[in-house]
Structure 1
Amino acid sequence: MLGLSVDRLRGDMNRLLALLFHQGVLDEQFLQLQQLQDESSPNFVSEVVNIYFHESEKLLRNLRALLYVLVDREFSEYKKMGIHLNQLMGSSSSIGAKRVRNVCVAFRSASDQNNRAGCIRSLELLEYEYCYLKNKLHELFQIEQQRSLAAAVRYPVLQQRPNHHT
């Protein structure tokens, strides 16, 4: 019975991963990250991804703040935006967050053209893709945690008491 639960959870994980790859949310870099995880570091992927989310939250806040104060001719603000976008593109690439990275590329293009309206649209799309990625990876890690717990559960063997009836 317990094996079925572990197999079901493994299947749920595989289906969710397949969906994320099919949708272009993740790419092969995520699989390479998973290959670095082993018994000595069973939470490696979730730890790396949590660092990514922590750092990305700061970058998104900075991008929002820059766009809020941006006037069309403030080239230095666009330059700062480009720096934040490069960081977000790099870290997104490193964990295999393909759609987030692709939106960063488009955002960077709008920023390079000093296109405030394009930057605003790109930021909205970036926040949407980022939240979708975060929710789906959170779901994936919850299933992985449940699978690990289910696999680790060991039921004690019940010992039969000797029958002392004579």
Structure 2
Amino acid sequence: MEVVNVLQQQYVDFLSSLYSEGLLEKHFGNVQMLTENEPHVMSELLALFFEDSERYLQNLATALDQMDVDYEKVDDFAVPLYDGSLSLGTQRMNNACVTFRSCYKSKNLEGCLRCLRQLKDEYYLVKSKFQTMLALEQRIVAAGGSVPIVK
């Protein structure tokens, strides 16, 4: 049981650091509670988030690379990206989406490109952290423990 306790403490410390760094906000804890009894649901939810986010980021890059940028199309790709980041409680990614929105609403192409780079950076950072979190969860469960909820 000692191994489980150590892994659970590592998990709590890791998620606490994500909150303190502003990567996550309290809504993520709510998502955790909803998936608490079905651990595979969180990994499936995150897999969908990764797949969708990468597709929308690629679509945004393509849309902004056009000679005549269609900002309505940019909005079509940006809104679901924002919604996904908001629904998971990925605070810094969500903030980057809000900043990006202000750029494309004002049709500021240079600002859009700069914000898109920032948005990609935030996405890849949160993806990496989520992958680490999932690996810790798997180790906890494999050791016979339950994954603690961190708010």
TM-score normalized by the length of structure 2: 0.91
Q: Does 1:48 align with 2:36?
A: no
Q: Aligned residue for 2:8?
A: 10
Aligned to 1:133, the other structure's residue is in SS state: helix
Q: Aligned residue for 2:34?
A: 36
Q: Percent identity?
A: 31
- Structure 2 residue runs without a partner (length 5+): 146-151
Q: Aligned residue for 1:162?
A: none
Q: Does 1:121 align with 2:114?
A: yes
Find the structure with the greater CA-based Rg: 1
Q: Aligned residue for 1:140?
A: 133
Root mean square deviation, CA, Å? 1.2
In structure 2, what is the Cα distance between the partners aligned to 1:29 and 1:88? 16
In structure 1, what is the Cα distance between the partners aligned to 2:85 and 2:5? 30
Q: Does 1:111 align with 2:104?
A: yes
Deviation at 1:143, TM superposition (A): 0.5
Q: Aligned residue for 1:163?
A: none
Q: Aligned residue for 2:149?
A: none
Read off the aligned partner of 1:140 and give its amino acid letter: M
Q: Tell me if structure 2 keeps the 8 A contact 1:36–1:44.
A: no
In structure 2, what is the Cα distance between the partners aligned to 1:43 and 1:8? 22
Q: Write the deviation string for residues 68-119 of structure 1: whole angstroms up to 9, x where unpaired.
A: 1144xx4xx1111112111111111111111111101100100011101100
In structure 1, what is the Cα distance between the partners aligned to 2:13 and 2:36? 21
Which residue, out of 62, 70, 89, partners 1:65?
Answer: 62
In structure 1, what is the Cα distance between the partners aligned to 2:29 and 2:67? 38
Read off the aligned partner of 1:123 and give its amino acid letter: L
In structure 1, what is the Cα distance between the partners aligned to 2:36 and 2:92? 27
In structure 1, what is the Cα distance between the partners aligned to 2:67 and 2:60? 10
In structure 2, what is the Cα distance between the partners aligned to 1:66 and 1:30? 30
Q: Write the deviation string for residues 31-78 of structure 1: whole angstroms up to 9, x where unpaired.
A: 001101243x2222221111111111110010010111144xx4xx11
Deviation at 1:135, TM superposition (A): 0.2
Q: Does 1:149 align with 2:147?
A: no
Q: Aligned residue for 2:148?
A: none
Aligned length: 145
Read off the aligned partner of 2:13 and give its amino acid letter: R
